Amino acid sequence: MDNSYIMREDNISSEMFLGDLKPWNLQELKKTMKIFVVNYNETEMEFDLVGVHPAIANAFRRILLSEVPTMAIEKVMIYNNTSLIQDEILAHRLGLIPLKADPRRFDFKSEDEGTERDTLEFELKIKCTKNTNAKPDSTNPDELYVNNNVYSKHIKWLPMGRQSNRMKEADVGPVLDDILIAKLRPGHEIDVKMLAVKGIGQDHAKFSPVATATYRLLPQIELVTDVEGEQAVRLQSCFSPGVIGIKEGSNGKKKAYVENARYDSCSRNVLRHNDLKDAVRMGRKRDHFIFTIESTGALTPDNLFLGSVDVLMKKCKDLLDKLNRLES
């Protein structure tokens, strides 16, 4: 288990590794760095980032969280709000609704007045009324009233200028339809206009394009001694399902073996068993990052990762430029 952190009972080993002392080399990185996509769908992606220093993996994670831009509602013009929700809270709730709108097609807002290049306009106009068709003895508010729940689907996009040419109605708006914004009762009314702008997560968490972007190190499990019989079953139960397998050993006894350490939750619960404690060695591979990106829905996770690469590249370029300017 070289190049691994060893998970001990009360701490994680943190010896210096020889590799850390070597000067960083781009050529080396190009050779060693690999990416395997393990799992991919519209909103979630899991991939392995192998052979890089944690600083690089962490840079991507940090950028994903806070520097890849998205669109979010920033300004709320309240024309009427007679609901129970206070104006500020309503604005806050609206701001946190993830929007589907490709941020790459927008600029950061610069002037005071929003333009079609940098702003999306939405409208939420809803009024709760009594349902005249409701059964008289009904107590269910969904039946008694109309529009008693305000959902994100009630938000309407108001295209500015030539935005309607550039974008389809389906491409703009809240990612999910069923986000509850407010509850109304007859006579309550919400009439607001919203301006969504491009921003980054550093400014406010609502601009963060990911629900979370994170990684974990690849778990490693090694059986030092043979674990057989009842102990094998017990060992299996100490790890996440599918981590330890049991097969018929040569002597006819059940024998445990490491099937796939990848999905172990690293609970270290083996260490509770004194007899099994010394039979396993557990570790985390230092340069194998299992990266997970959960998108909020504006962009697909692969695009988000590419976005983070772009941001990192731009940052590096900026730094180089500044250094060059210093030299000259």
Give the footprint of other proteins on this chain (CB under 8 A).
5, 7, 10-12, 14, 54-55, 57-59, 61-62, 65-66, 78, 81, 84, 86-89, 92, 96, 201-202, 204-206, 208, 212-217, 240, 265-269, 272, 284, 292, 294
Full DSSP string of 138-202: ---HHHHEES-EEEGGG-EEE--TTHHHHS-GGGSEES-S--EEEE--TT-EEEEEEEEEEE-TT
Quote the least distance from Cβ 176 to other proteins, whole Å.
16
Residue 204 or residue 317: which is nearer to other proteins going by CB? 204
Residue 172 or residue 200: which is nearer to other proteins going by CB? 200
Angstrom distance (rounded) from CA 141 to CA 4: 58
Token pair 């299992």: residue: 290
Quote the least distance from Cβ 254 to other proteins, whole Å.
22
CB 295 within 8 A of CB 43: yes
Quote the least distance from Cβ 291 to other proteins, whole Å.
10
Angstrom distance (rounded) from CA 278 to CA 51: 30
* Residue type at 65 in one-letter notation: L
Quote the least distance from Cβ 201 to other proteins, whole Å.
7
**Residues 301, 41, 106, CA angle at the centre, nearest 5°?**
35
Angstrom distance (rounded) from CA 59 to CA 313: 11
Angstrom distance (rounded) from CA 227 to CA 258: 11
Quote the least distance from Cβ 227 to other proteins, whole Å.
18
Quote the least distance from Cβ 136 to other proteins, whole Å.
16
Inter-axis angle of helices 54-66 and 301-327, nearest 10: 110
Quote the least distance from Cβ 263 to other proteins, whole Å.
10
Quote the least distance from Cβ 41 to other proteins, whole Å.
17
Residue 172 or residue 221: which is nearer to other proteins going by CB? 221
CB 85 within 8 A of CB 326: no
Residue 26, Cβ density class (10 Å: 0-12 exposed, 13-18 middle, ≥19 buried): exposed
DSSP conformational letter for 109: P
Which three-class secondary structure state does DSSP give residue 103?
helix
Angstrom distance (rounded) from CA 299 to CA 274: 49
Cα end-to-end span (Å), the chain: 48
